[in-house]
Structure 1
Amino acid sequence: MFWKFDLHTTSHIDTLLEKEDVTLTEVMDEEDVLQECKAQNHKLVDFLVRPQYMEDLVTYITQEPSDDVEETIKYKYPNISCELLTSDVGQINDRLGEDECLLMKLYGFLQNESPLNPLLASFFSKVLSILIGRKPEQIVEFLRKREDFVDLMIKHIGTSAIMDLLLRMLTCVEPQQLRQDVLNWLNEEKVIQRLVDMVQPSQDEDRHSNASQSLCEIIRLSRDQMFQVQGCSEPDPLLATLEKQETVEQLLSNIFDKEKNDSAIVSVIQILLTLFETRRPAFEGHLEICPPGMSHPSFSVNQSILEAVRPRLKDFHQLLLEPPKKNIMKTTWGVLDPPVGNTRLNVVRLVASLLQTNTHIINMELINLNTLGVILDMYFKYIWNNFLHLQVEICTAMILAMPPAQSENLKINSDQEPVRESHLINHLFQKCQFIQRILDAWSSNEKAQAEGGRRQGYMGHLTRIANSIVHNSDKGPNGAQIQQLISELTEEDRERWETFISGQLADTNKRNTVDLAFSDYQMQQMTSNFIEQFGFNDEEFADQDDVVDIPFDRISDINFSLNTNESANIALFEACCKEKIQQFEDAGSDEEDIWDEKDVTFAPDAQRRPRSSGSTDSEESTDSEEEDVKRDPFDPNNASSDDRMEVDTGPLWTANFDDIPMDTGSSTSAGWSSPNASPGKAMGFIIPPPSFPRNKCVTANSVVTVMMLSLCDVADSDQWPGDEAAQPASSPGGKAGCSDAEESVTTETVTNGSMKETVSLTVDAKTETAIFKRACGIDLCVLPRFPPPALSDLNPCKAGTLQ
């Protein structure tokens, strides 16, 4: 409708561009210029790609605005120019990427002196980045011709936008072969060595940080790319250069052979931590996707890196003892002299990464230096530094849980079997007195709290460390060794440890595991009960991408059973029936009959046609759920008003089922009549209102709700035909008020709203039964023509209908 009536508005830019003397600034002043450009407005794009205007746009993002320009609008046009050039419009990309003059003007920004304007640098980097993505061949060829490109990039590496541009060249160049050419070109230009030279005390912190971050990203991107790109067996030259032993040695030499500089030390440690990163396969079979013959360096630490680091471990150890000078720090709880500092914290992180490699020569060097003892001293000294506490916990947890290194010495146990023992665990328990220090710290904390002091800040981590000892002594790979070391403690320390485990530690664990709402046991019980009831399993709650064979129809198998008490409803129904019968007898009452709210509509005779009890489906039969009403009022011509049972001819109760729409019938209530019934005999079936108790007979496609009353008219008598003692002798067949015919069939078409169905009532005098059938031939109810039973016993399903 929107396009039919052409309700879209026309941009004012179209009108503006029709002017002959329109300027670029006038167009850029329009509010919707960016939207129109991204929508590729032909007039606007044709205007912008004119040589003069393209040059002006590049000038705006590469030259400093004039100082006399108002500050609020100083960078307005440079910003709009950047957005227009990076709107990813093909014509603009083609004109800018293929015009070498424009590229030279853009490239000239790098030739400015440091430091670069950070805002203009971001505009420049954004424009060149999109050109690298859209025109990689042209841009790479252009940059390779510039001999000073790498020098300028390294020169301005302190500007974050330039660092981003360098990383963009490593990730956004496609196809793969072109990317490999770029990597080889940058490696030939010694970009890695130049970045390493930036991380030394003579450079400022911005260069330290950005050069370190660039090297870290190169490592991660190169390792990821090796597994994402299949079919390429050529190694990444930049990563190979970074992992060389001489490169790592140069990094360490920059920080240890010169003046100590906190920023440079931290930056180098960040690079080493990235080199020590060990990654696991994202999913099973990940390693198999690698090309044949390719190693998997991202899943193990290169030995050349460890060889370069090992001789420098003493220097890192010395940093823990004598960090770069820090000013005294005053805190809310006291004075830190000296504070931990970023350097020592990162050295502890480096030790944790080295322990994770589980290399024998590294472990022995740390043992000889007693680095673990110094780290534990820091743990208990700086009681509020949780960053430090976490790293110490990681160190101890890895030592306790890691199996002994392959190069560890063999030892003969009590069973005369050679086993490997961890030298780190022996050092931790014997030299560092791990157990004793934990016990002393715990006692000191309890004493301080008893005197009204604060709980020590490391107690949470100390609890986890103690639990790690208990767990690994029972189930860990070094359990026997840990138990042996504990047994070698002095009797006093061993008793203190056992008392601590069973008492203080157990109580602390109990307090820590209490939930505010439900305990773990309660949650497990509720989950178990839910699964037992509904039959779900854990896989059905997993990620659908990982579990592909989950059945989607399990919900259909859930069975519900409802136990209801019908006695109250039955009593209510009987009371209502009595009340209704009383209303029939009170003929002189002036009160309005509540059953006279609707009229009874009988189906026309033309719609009635006899049907046998065994009939099949017809056009008028339906499978929908419905509640029909049948009533055969007694013929007033065959009996006196005193001798007949009156039947209510008020509105009938029907049911509307919206699930299966019907296209036959009229919007009338269902009614029953028996035009073929002879005088003196009739049978009526009444379906009560839905609020009354109902019995359900289930067929293949529907649920028919029926509650029937068997009404048999007795001619000139108050006795029921089943009462043999009260039968008149003159009654033929011994049955008063019943037909002599063997079988009588009555067929009716019932219309209820949009539903229509033909049903039949067959009265068999011989068997004394009445069969009520749907048009599909299914017996709805088979009732004996005996005196009506109690209402609670009326169950059509028991009378032979389908369950």
Structure 2
Amino acid sequence: MFWKFDLHTTSHIDTLLEKEDVTLTEVMDEEDVLQECKAQNHKLVDFLVRPQCMEDLVTYITQEPSDDVEEKIKYKYPNISCELLTSDVGQINDRLGEDESLLMKLYGFLQNESPLNPLLASFFSKVLSILIGRKPEQIVEFLRKREDFVDLMIKHIGTSAIMDLLLRMLTCIEPQQLRQDVLNWLNEEKVIQRLVDMVQPSQDEDRHSNASQSLCEIIRLSRDQMFQVQGCSEPDPLLATLEKQETVEQLLSNIFDKEKNDSAIVSVIQILLTLFETRRPAFEGHLEICPPGMNHPSFSVNQSILEAVRPRLKDFHQLLLEPPKKNIMKTTWGVLDPPVGNTRLNVVRLVASLLQTNTLIINMELINLNTLGVILDMYFKYIWNNFLHIQVEICTAMILAMPPAQSETPEINRDQDQEPVRESHLIKHLFQKCQFIQRILDAWSSNEKEQAEGGRRRGYMGHLTRIANSIVHNSDKGPNSAQIQQLISELSEDDKERWEAFTSGQLADTNKKNTVDLVNTHHIHSSSDDEGEFKDSGFHQDSSLQQAFSDYQMQQMTSNFIEQFGFNDEEFADQDDVANIALFEACCKEKIHQFEDAGSDEEDIWDEKDVTFAPEAQRRPRSSGSTDSEESTDSEEEDVKRDPFEPNNGSSDDRMEVDTTEGDPKDPLRSNSPVAMETCIETGDPLGVTASMHAEAQPPSSPGGKAGGRSDAEETVTTETVTNGSMKETVSLTVDAKTETAVFKRVLKSYRYVQPIGGQTSAVYCFHVSH
């Protein structure tokens, strides 16, 4: 609306720029300077690209503000300068990207000592990032000439904005060959090795986190790029360096050959998890393979990574037994000494990823170390740590569902008529060494005993239920069903009976409770169902309750219609759109149908009736024409007692009561139905509404040509009191003599007019339309 009618005023900036001595700060103090710049106001842009202005803008975002500046406006001009420089205006980009003196001033920010001001660093990174995207050749050439660029980036990697800038160089450069040149250049500068060196105990947590995140993003970005550009002949040098065995060995050496540091260990594990990202385990014993196309060689686990990790499995196992020292943690249910900690939780995640590779040498190493046994011990010890529980569930689900590793030797079944099957060493270890079945049964029994004594249900019981279901599922079908059945049959008689009783009893009952039909238990209704419930709720015959309920239902019908079709009051008034009328009518008919009483033999108040203007002899007598709210008539008291939702009997009038205070008492406009609103008719209506209304609606006559209106030639105004139940509303009824149209100036809650069109009856319902 604002731009359509050109209502915007001229910016004060144009007037300001006409001054000869205008300063940059004066321009930046204008509230709409950013909008005008993005709109490429020629006067403003020409002013900003002046050499002195450009230099000042760069200075604001690269130099610390003075300490004597008030804190609330300390970073006002640096912030506005950044927004102006990154407004993506071609002239500004050209001037900044092609002026080496400005680039050197910008680059000088990196040469400051650590730590950098994080806010200014974000401004610097944002400006340089947009230049990399818009002027890649010039910026790359400029940066490559700076021999200390990579050193400075690594030095300030603890600042998140600098890490973002490094990643921008890998994503914002569009020309493929130029991007490949940048990758080769960064690889020659040994950026991967330098980032790896940042992840060690001697560095702070910010460097650990940002260096780790940078390496993880490089892995993902490189793999995504290789997947998208299938025809790329050159491999990604940064990814190749990261996947080298010596690089992974250096990462592991950083955390195991020095003092234990929780932050460094977690950061290294995050990098390893990213290297192992190939497919995701699902629940219920199923394994979800990568989406189609993700079987690209870059997405398979590099054997060199596994070779580097295997000798360090014993160190990871030891971390589960002796994690970095943690303080005692007091919780609402007890004391954790020690708590699980981030280190051990991430080690369990790493074990889950290693199991996912399904490599024999890894599986056998985990079996020899009994790592799975230690993880199960943690599961049953830390009964409230669901982060741990879900990882243990993933581990067990994968072991039960994965086919045996390719290098595992097949064993011949005892039955000669069956084909040989390859047995999983992990499943055998889980059932025999770890006593998987027995521990599940013992934990379940212990929990039920505690609950029977008034205790709380243990936090791992939901996961334990799914683990037990995974065993049942994979014993019935799957690549390891025969082996699982065999191992269960080899249990002691007592354990076997307990397991059978458990699966057919407690587990089955729990599954039944977890799969209750919620629709049958809880009556879930839509808005229309809710209306039906209210209708049958046995409301008292009090009129105020009935009126409130009537208003509520009408509002619900209106709001539901508007939500469904996206109309507003103004749109209802536009009768040029015939489709709006049809949709509105269809929706209203559907809504009104909900109020119908199918079992009633009485006359339906919602049944369509033709509008007829009753003569004076048929008009309903009124006891009073006053609009004073303190007065009450017998007919009004009768209306108060009447249920507005009850069908009218034969003696009732099918109309709302209309009282008048002005005009001719013999006004022929008094009728059995409300007069149609102006919004429902319009000249030129293709449905012929106007013609039929003209035939029925006649202007009122009054002595002297005036009846409370302004002019007998233009319109006649009559004040009406509309009574609906116990509610009365005063409205103004205007009759236009030229168009012969009757208009209510105050909207009723809801009403309908019916008129014949081409021998048929048409109904239009109107709600909350104001004029």
**Structure with bigger gyration radius:** 1
Give a deviation string over 1:108-135, Cα, whole Å, max 9, x none: 0000000000000000000000000000
Q: Taking structure 1 as reference, are residues 732 and 187 closer, same or farther at Cα in structure 2, changes over 3 Å only?
A: closer
Residues in 1 aligned to 2:491 and 2:303: alpha-carbon distance in whole angstroms: 38
Q: Taking structure 1 as reference, are residues 625 and 571 closer, same or farther at Cα in structure 2, changes over 3 Å only?
A: farther
Q: Taking structure 1 as reference, are residues 638 and 110 closer, same or farther at Cα in structure 2, changes over 3 Å only?
A: closer
Q: Taking structure 1 as reference, are residues 449 and 47 closer, same or farther at Cα in structure 2, changes over 3 Å only?
A: same
Residues in 1 aligned to 2:692 and 2:245: alpha-carbon distance in whole angstroms: 93
Residues in 2 aligned to 1:768 and 1:42: alpha-carbon distance in whole angstroms: 56
Residues in 2 aligned to 1:262 and 1:734: alpha-carbon distance in whole angstroms: 95
- What TM-score does the superposition give when structure 2 sets the normalisation length? 0.66
Count how many residue pairs are aligned between Structure 1 and Structure 2.
711
How far has the Cα of 1:8 moved from its partner? 3.7
Once the two structures are overlaid, the 10-residue window that deviates more, 2-11 or 398-407, is: 2-11
Is the Cα contact below 8 Å between 1:114 and 1:156 reproduced in 2? yes
Partner in structure 1 of residue 618 of structure 2: 607
Q: Taking structure 1 as reference, are residues 17 and 371 closer, same or farther at Cα in structure 2, changes over 3 Å only?
A: same
Match of 2:712 among 737, 740, 752: 740
Residues in 2 aligned to 1:176 and 1:801: alpha-carbon distance in whole angstroms: 60
- The SS at the match of 1:528 is helix
C-alpha RMSD of the superposition: 17.1
Give a deviation string over 1:297-351, Cα, whole Å, max 9, x none: 3431111100000000000000000000001111111111111000000000000
How far has the Cα of 1:707 moved from its partner? 24
- The SS at the match of 1:457 is coil
Residues in 1 aligned to 2:64 and 2:740: alpha-carbon distance in whole angstroms: 110
How far has the Cα of 1:21 moved from its partner? 0.5
Residue 599 of structure 2 corresponds to residue 588 of structure 1? yes
Q: Taking structure 1 as reference, are residues 451 and 49 closer, same or farther at Cα in structure 2, changes over 3 Å only?
A: same
Q: Taking structure 1 as reference, are residues 528 and 513 closer, same or farther at Cα in structure 2, changes over 3 Å only?
A: farther
Residues in 2 aligned to 1:145 and 1:726: alpha-carbon distance in whole angstroms: 87
Residues in 1 aligned to 2:552 and 2:729: alpha-carbon distance in whole angstroms: 58
Residues in 2 aligned to 1:641 and 1:41: alpha-carbon distance in whole angstroms: 71
Q: Taking structure 1 as reference, are residues 407 and 30 closer, same or farther at Cα in structure 2, changes over 3 Å only?
A: same
Once the two structures are overlaid, the 10-residue window that deviates more, 380-389 or 6-15, is: 6-15
Once the two structures are overlaid, the 10-residue window that deviates more, 183-192 or 417-426, is: 417-426
- The SS at the match of 1:763 is strand
How far has the Cα of 1:580 moved from its partner? 36
Residue 721 of structure 2 corresponds to residue 749 of structure 1? yes
Q: Taking structure 1 as reference, are residues 224 and 662 closer, same or farther at Cα in structure 2, changes over 3 Å only?
A: farther
Once the two structures are overlaid, the 10-residue window that deviates more, 750-759 or 410-419, is: 750-759
Residues in 2 aligned to 1:637 and 1:523: alpha-carbon distance in whole angstroms: 20
Is the Cα contact below 8 Å between 2:61 and 2:120 reproduced in 1? yes
Is the Cα contact below 8 Å between 1:230 and 1:289 reproduced in 2? no
Identical amino acids, percent of aligned pairs: 93
Is the Cα contact below 8 Å between 1:17 and 1:44 reproduced in 2? yes
Partner in structure 2 of residue 646 of structure 1: 657
How far has the Cα of 1:227 moved from its partner? 1.6
How far has the Cα of 1:289 moved from its partner? 19
Once the two structures are overlaid, the 10-residue window that deviates more, 574-583 or 343-352, is: 574-583
How far has the Cα of 1:409 moved from its partner? 1.4
Partner in structure 2 of residue 435 of structure 1: 437
How far has the Cα of 1:248 moved from its partner? 0.3
Is the Cα contact below 8 Å between 1:421 and 1:481 reproduced in 2? yes
Is the Cα contact below 8 Å between 1:198 and 1:211 reproduced in 2? yes
Q: Taking structure 1 as reference, are residues 518 and 288 closer, same or farther at Cα in structure 2, changes over 3 Å only?
A: farther
Give a deviation string over 1:479-529, Cα, whole Å, max 9, x none: 0000000000000100000000111111111111113x9999999999999
- The SS at the match of 2:733 is strand
- The SS at the match of 1:749 is strand
- The SS at the match of 1:751 is strand
Once the two structures are overlaid, the 10-residue window that deviates more, 376-385 or 287-296, is: 287-296
Residues in 1 aligned to 2:706 and 2:13: alpha-carbon distance in whole angstroms: 101
Residues in 2 aligned to 1:581 and 1:273: alpha-carbon distance in whole angstroms: 60
Is the Cα contact below 8 Å between 2:710 and 2:717 reproduced in 1? no
- The SS at the match of 2:717 is strand
How far has the Cα of 1:13 moved from its partner? 0.3
Is the Cα contact below 8 Å between 2:252 and 2:268 reproduced in 1? yes
Q: Taking structure 1 as reference, are residues 455 and 769 closer, same or farther at Cα in structure 2, changes over 3 Å only?
A: closer
Q: Taking structure 1 as reference, are residues 260 and 760 closer, same or farther at Cα in structure 2, changes over 3 Å only?
A: closer
Residues in 2 aligned to 1:220 and 1:422: alpha-carbon distance in whole angstroms: 32
Q: Taking structure 1 as reference, are residues 766 and 386 closer, same or farther at Cα in structure 2, changes over 3 Å only?
A: closer
Partner in structure 2 of residue 681 of structure 1: 685
Is the Cα contact below 8 Å between 2:246 and 2:308 reproduced in 1? yes
Partner in structure 2 of residue 161 of structure 1: 161
Give a deviation string over 1:710-762, Cα, whole Å, max 9, x none: xxxxxxxxxxxxxxx99999999999999999999999999999999999999
Is the Cα contact below 8 Å between 1:86 and 1:130 reproduced in 2? yes
Is the Cα contact below 8 Å between 2:687 and 2:757 reproduced in 1? no
Partner in structure 1 of residue 36 of structure 2: 36
Residues in 2 aligned to 1:424 and 1:494: alpha-carbon distance in whole angstroms: 21
Give a deviation string over 1:199-244, Cα, whole Å, max 9, x none: 0000000000000000000000000011212431210000000000
How far has the Cα of 1:9 moved from its partner? 1.5
Is the Cα contact below 8 Å between 2:192 and 2:215 reproduced in 1? yes
Give a deviation string over 1:369-410, Cα, whole Å, max 9, x none: 000000000000000101001000000000000001111111
Residues in 1 aligned to 2:139 and 2:110: alpha-carbon distance in whole angstroms: 15
Give a deviation string over 1:532-590, Cα, whole Å, max 9, x none: 999999999999999xxxxxxxxxxxxxxxxxxxxx99999999999999999999999
Is the Cα contact below 8 Å between 2:38 and 2:87 reproduced in 1? yes
Once the two structures are superposed, the pairs formed by residues 132-151 of structure 1 within 5 Å of their partners are 132-151=132-151
Is the Cα contact below 8 Å between 1:613 and 1:773 reproduced in 2? no
Match of 1:626 among 630, 637, 641: 637
- The SS at the match of 2:280 is coil
How far has the Cα of 1:417 moved from its partner? 3.3
Give a deviation string over 1:241-265, Cα, whole Å, max 9, x none: 0000000000000000000000000
Once the two structures are overlaid, the 10-residue window that deviates more, 584-593 or 289-298, is: 584-593
Partner in structure 2 of residue 539 of structure 1: 570
Q: Taking structure 1 as reference, are residues 12 and 635 closer, same or farther at Cα in structure 2, changes over 3 Å only?
A: closer
Q: Taking structure 1 as reference, are residues 762 and 456 closer, same or farther at Cα in structure 2, changes over 3 Å only?
A: closer
Once the two structures are overlaid, the 10-residue window that deviates more, 304-313 or 585-594, is: 585-594
Once the two structures are overlaid, the 10-residue window that deviates more, 307-316 or 6-15, is: 6-15
Once the two structures are overlaid, the 10-residue window that deviates more, 738-747 or 97-106, is: 738-747
Is the Cα contact below 8 Å between 1:747 and 1:759 reproduced in 2? yes
Is the Cα contact below 8 Å between 1:384 and 1:457 reproduced in 2? yes
Once the two structures are overlaid, the 10-residue window that deviates more, 339-348 or 223-232, is: 223-232
Q: Taking structure 1 as reference, are residues 468 and 617 closer, same or farther at Cα in structure 2, changes over 3 Å only?
A: same
Residues in 2 aligned to 1:223 and 1:420: alpha-carbon distance in whole angstroms: 34
Is the Cα contact below 8 Å between 2:167 and 2:214 reproduced in 1? yes
Once the two structures are overlaid, the 10-residue window that deviates more, 570-579 or 153-162, is: 570-579
Q: Taking structure 1 as reference, are residues 442 and 756 closer, same or farther at Cα in structure 2, changes over 3 Å only?
A: closer
- The SS at the match of 2:217 is helix
How far has the Cα of 1:183 moved from its partner? 0.2
Q: Taking structure 1 as reference, are residues 409 and 789 closer, same or farther at Cα in structure 2, changes over 3 Å only?
A: closer
How far has the Cα of 1:139 moved from its partner? 0.1
Is the Cα contact below 8 Å between 1:61 and 1:78 reproduced in 2? yes
Once the two structures are overlaid, the 10-residue window that deviates more, 453-462 or 738-747, is: 738-747
Q: Taking structure 1 as reference, are residues 579 and 92 closer, same or farther at Cα in structure 2, changes over 3 Å only?
A: closer
Residues in 2 aligned to 1:8 and 1:800: alpha-carbon distance in whole angstroms: 33
How far has the Cα of 1:174 moved from its partner? 1.7
Higher fraction of helix = 2
- The SS at the match of 1:759 is strand
- The SS at the match of 2:267 is helix
Is the Cα contact below 8 Å between 2:400 and 2:427 reproduced in 1? yes
Q: Taking structure 1 as reference, are residues 594 and 771 closer, same or farther at Cα in structure 2, changes over 3 Å only?
A: closer
Q: Taking structure 1 as reference, are residues 276 and 620 closer, same or farther at Cα in structure 2, changes over 3 Å only?
A: farther
Q: Taking structure 1 as reference, are residues 596 and 791 closer, same or farther at Cα in structure 2, changes over 3 Å only?
A: closer
Residues in 1 aligned to 2:466 and 2:81: alpha-carbon distance in whole angstroms: 57
Is the Cα contact below 8 Å between 2:697 and 2:742 reproduced in 1? no
Residues in 1 aligned to 2:19 and 2:740: alpha-carbon distance in whole angstroms: 102
Segments ≥4 residues shifted beyond 4 Å: 1-7, 279-295, 517-546, 568-648, 673-677, 680-684, 704-708, 725-775, 787-797, 799-803
Give a deviation string over 1:601-653, Cα, whole Å, max 9, x none: 999999999999999999999999999999999999999999999999xxxxx
Is the Cα contact below 8 Å between 1:132 and 1:173 reproduced in 2? yes
Is the Cα contact below 8 Å between 1:613 and 1:760 reproduced in 2? no
